Amino acid sequence: MVDDEAPFREIGRVILESNHYRVEEADNGEKGLQMAKELRPALILLDMKMPGWTGSDTIQKLRETEETKNIPVVFLTSFGDARVDFESDRHFAGEVGANDFVSKARLADDLLPRVNKILGK
């Protein structure tokens, strides 16, 4: 899980670990890329809006790197709430190479089902 906001990493970690997933955390895109190269995770949860490398920057680097280019990525976004069109977020996620996105406002409800679906569980 790559997110600069510790509270969202904590929520995601608790949800996933309570469902028997192992979670590693990075607080920025550069660390996330390095960890992904070393650990080769089954899935990367990636915040779209971070200082330094944004989610778009980070996924570009992931897709350009041999060790990480095929790892599924789910964007975590503050967008996608009632004021924003979900379809435009889904379209943007697909354009930059993400497999899906989860709104942080719906993290507790949507994270586990999306992760399970992508990982075939």
pLDDT in tens, 22-41: 999 999 999 999 999 999 99
Q: What is the pTM of this model?
A: 0.87
Q: Which residues contact 75 (CB under 8 A, 6 or more apart)?
A: 46, 47, 48, 55, 59, 89, 93, 98, 100, 101, 102
Find the mean pLDDT for residues 62-89.
Answer: 76
Give how many domains the chain has, as a whole number.
1
Q: What is the residue range of 104's domain?
A: 6-118
- 1 lies in some domain: no
User: pLDDT tens for residues 55-73?
Assistant: 989 999 999 999 999 999 9
Q: Which range has the worst mean pLDDT, 35-44, 70-79, 89-98?
A: 89-98
Q: Does the pLDDT at position 80 exceed 90?
A: no
Q: What CATH number corresponds to the domain at position 111?
A: 3.40.50.2300
